[in-house]
Homo-oligomer: A and B are copies of this chain.
């Protein structure tokens, strides 16, 4: 599926408004999620967006595919040092102030751009890109809705194949394979430096409550010291809460969802905690309305959990491993804006898409909780994009 030319034109025009506000002459974007967003191709391209006029798309590899996939005219990138020439040949003035993605660009590559544009002042343009991308267009919401169709089918498949004694990682492999066969793109893009992510966290019982480096409330034990997040080689047993926290991505757009399964009933405490998580999720969803400040929503939810449930200590992690958010933006990347997090001053807007994930961690026992991807739309609260039934799944 190609990104329609009108969609690309609007994205670039809206970005140019932000360049104008900051008095930046142009931006050179090179990171995959950003170039995909503004060009419509995930080939290896640079896009130069001047404050006025048509953007210049330069493809390194593969040129032919980039040309077919993007509705912009595409030119070959023949080397970094030729980019100023390319800009001038396109009839555009050379920038005096140039925006770059300084949140992701490695220093050595940045220094090559400094040499290429010796007279130019470089500024970080990543906040403008990330803020624009946090507000999804209706075309993007439709893509997210398509991506959301995979996970209910994966959960149905999970019920068929799971049996006591299956290893977490075997279960994960089967679920990921099913998602792939239904069109899941596999690679889940993240922006943060050195972020590592495979398919999510498929983990059972106490192992789901093991802490690790991934910046989420539930990380899992992992398969080895070298791969310390997600599924382990250990076996899934009866009566344990099994976390299925998975991301699917279709046409680049990600849905992040968590459900809890168990073979046989869970303890009464875990069952009640699960229902509490559902209540918290509903509270978060209803609080996500245009105009609210993300950090205030976070405090409100945290306070509610502490005052109205016995699980304050278990909410969003345990002890020093607690995370300080209850939701994060998703779209072309898994770590988009806004974050519904401590101290965040981000103002919620219609079109923002957030994965909300109230989870309770019981060390030595397991994890229960829920996660859905929602879109902020109206004063009535956000709308669920993920369509998997929200009940605890007891097999």
Partner of A105, one of B31, B107, B332: B107
* A320 close to chain B: CB less than 8 A: yes
* A252 close to chain B: CB less than 8 A: yes
Enumerate chain B residues within 8 angstroms of A194, measured Cβ to Cβ. Answer: 30-32, 104
* A199 close to chain B: CB less than 8 A: yes
Count of this chain's copies in the oligomeric assembly: 2
Partner of A178, one of B2, B63, B173, B321: B173
Q: Which of A210-245 contact B (CB under 8 A)?
A: 211-213, 215, 219, 223-228, 230-231, 233
Q: Bound state CA distance, A249 and B180, in angstroms?
A: 20
List 21 interface pairs A-B (beta carbons < 8 Å), by A numbering. A1-B225, A36-B226, A40-B225, A42-B226, A42-B228, A43-B213, A61-B213, A69-B225, A103-B106, A103-B108, A106-B193, A107-B107, A107-B124, A169-B181, A169-B183, A173-B178, A174-B177, A187-B198, A225-B252, A226-B253, A227-B252
* A102 close to chain B: CB less than 8 A: yes
Task: For chain A, give the interface size range.
Answer: 35 or more
Taking a contact as CB atoms under 8 Å apart, the answer to whether A227 and B186 are in contact is yes
- Chain B residue nearest in CB terms to A3: B225
- Chain A window 168-198, contacts with chain B (Cβ cutoff 8 Å), 1 for yes, 0 for no: 0110111011111101111101000110111
A115 CB, min distance to chain B CBs, angstroms: 14
Taking a contact as CB atoms under 8 Å apart, the answer to whether B181 and A187 are in contact is no
Partner of A106, one of B32, B41, B102, B177: B102
Q: Which A residues form the contact surface with B (CB < 8 A)?
A: 1-3, 30-32, 36, 40-44, 60-65, 69, 100, 102-110, 124, 126, 167, 169-170, 172-174, 176-181, 183-187, 189, 193-194, 196-199, 211-213, 215, 219, 223-228, 230-231, 233, 249-253, 320-321, 332
Taking a contact as CB atoms under 8 Å apart, the answer to whether A228 and B43 are in contact is yes
Taking a contact as CB atoms under 8 Å apart, the answer to whether A187 and B176 are in contact is no
Which of A42, A106, A185, A199 has the most chain B CB atoms closer than 10 A to its own CB?
A106
- Chain B residue nearest in CB terms to A215: B61
Taking a contact as CB atoms under 8 Å apart, the answer to whether A212 and B62 are in contact is yes
Enumerate chain B residues within 8 angstroms of A186, measured Cβ to Cβ. Answer: 198-199, 223, 227, 230
